[in-house]
Structures are given as structure tokens and as C-alpha cells.
Amino acid sequence: MHVLLAYASLSGNTREVARIVTARLRMHGHVVRCVEVDGAHAADIGQPRDALLLGCWTDNAGRTPAEMKQFVATLHDGPGMPPAARVAVFGTGETQWGQEYYCGAAHRLARFFGSPHPVLEIEQMPHGDADTRTIHHWADHVSAAIEALRHADPARHHAG
Ligand SMILES: Cc1cc2nc3c(=O)[nH]c(=O)nc-3n(C[C@H](O)[C@H](O)[C@H](O)COP(=O)(O)O)c2cc1C
């Protein structure tokens, strides 16, 4: 399937998770377009896609950073919002900001899109085998779930 992975990253943590997710999905044979969100890319997202994966760092008190808000607004006003079941979200954050705010942007995005998939949370830069396994497991799970949906409802896929 064709996947658009759009991520926002200030200092590289979320970029690294995006890189691992992208590599994993490509290993499974999916076509992945991985873009860091900014004004230039936001205008260029009208391509057909089977899945939208969003990756985001979290700003002050659980907030979504401005560049991701802008991307979502452009998607909303342009190509339109994909069906909720085709959207999955991951994020990086730090628990030192408080558990209620941890990876808050990722959770806000998942709620906004109505994503039924689990939100992947990684603390800061992913490191070690455990984080890699967690990321692979998440990527495998969401791609299988979205792929199953695609096969179950091909008419909707072609319409969308
Ligand atoms: C100003 C500022 C506010 C932050 N607030 C939160 C927060 O509320 N919750 C959280 O989980 N992380 C918070 N963080 C931590 C970042 O989200 C975290 O370091 C993240 O991994 C950065 O990702 P990036 O390297 O992709 O930019 C904050 C970081 C900064 C700089």
C-alpha cells in the first residue's frame, strides 16, 4: 500500500522514529513517502494514499507544535481528511513534563483524526533493541490493520 508519513521534529528524536518506521514498512513492501512537515510539503500532499502516519514531538504542556497544526490545516482545506481508520499516530516526548502531558501532541492528533490505532510513545531519542522492537511492533500492527481494511473495502479505497 501507499503510505504518507508526515512528521514534525525539532531536535531529531521524532525524525529517528520516522526513519525506523519507514524502513520497517518498506521492508514489508509498502511504498512510503516520508516527509518532514513544513510549508513546502504541506502544499504537495494531494497524492492518493492508503494510510496517513503522523509523527510529532510535543510542545509546552502537551501541545501540538505549530508546524504540525499548519500541516493538518492544509490537509483539511486541501486534499481533505482521510478516513479515521487509515490514520495512525506516533510521538516522542519526555515524562519529566508530567505524565498527563507526556506525548500530548500525539494523543491530541489521534483524537482529532479519530484514529482507532494505538498511539506509539517513545521517550526522547529511540535507543536500544527494546525501542526498536516497540517501533517495529507498532508499524507491523498498524500496517496490518490498515491493509486488512483496504482488502475488506476496496470500493472505498478507490473512491478515496
Ligand atoms: C519547550 C518544550 C516543551 C516541551 N513540552 C513537552 C510536553 O509537554 N510533553 C512531552 O512529552 N514532552 C515535551 N517536550 C519534550 C519534547 O517533546 C521531546 O524532547 C521530543 O522528543 C522532541 O522531539 P524532536 O527531537 O523530534 O523535536 C518539550 C520540549 C520543549 C523544547
pLDDT band for 156, please (50, 70, 90 cuts): low
Report pLDDT for 159: 45
99: CA distance to ligand 1 center in Å?
13
Rounded CA Rg of the chain: 15
Which CATH number characterizes residue 17's domain?
3.40.50.360
123: CA distance to ligand 1 center in Å?
9
Mean pLDDT over 23-43 rounds to 86
Dmax over CA atoms of the chain, in Å, equals 46
pTM: 0.94
103: CA distance to ligand 1 center in Å?
8
Cross-sheet strand order for the sheet of 51-57: 31-36, 2-8, 51-57, 87-93, 120-123
Name every residue whose Cβ is closer than 8 Å to that of residue 115 and which is 6 or more positions away in sequence: 84, 85, 87, 88, 89, 109
Report pLDDT for 160: 42
pLDDT band for 94, please (50, 70, 90 cuts): very high
122: CA distance to ligand 1 center in Å?
11
Separation CA 141–CA 106 (nearest Å): 17
Say if residues 119 and 103 touch (Cβ distance below 8 Å): yes
Mutate-to-test residue for ligand 1 from 54, 90, 92, 122, highest number of ligand atoms within 8 A of CB: 92
Mean pLDDT over 25-51 rounds to 80
Q: Which residues line ligand 1 (CB under 6 A)?
A: 9-15, 57-62, 92-94, 97, 101-104, 124
Which one has a higher pLDDT value, 42 or 64?
A: 64
Q: At what angle do helices 13-27 and 128-152 cross, to 10 degrees?
A: 50
Of all atoms in ligand 1, which is nearest to the CA of residue 124?
21
Structural domain including 57 reads: 2-159
Q: How many domains does the chain have?
A: 1
The pair phi, psi for residue 122, each rounded to 5°, is -125, 135
Separation CA 24–CA 4 (nearest Å): 14
The pair phi, psi for residue 49, each rounded to 5°, is -150, 150
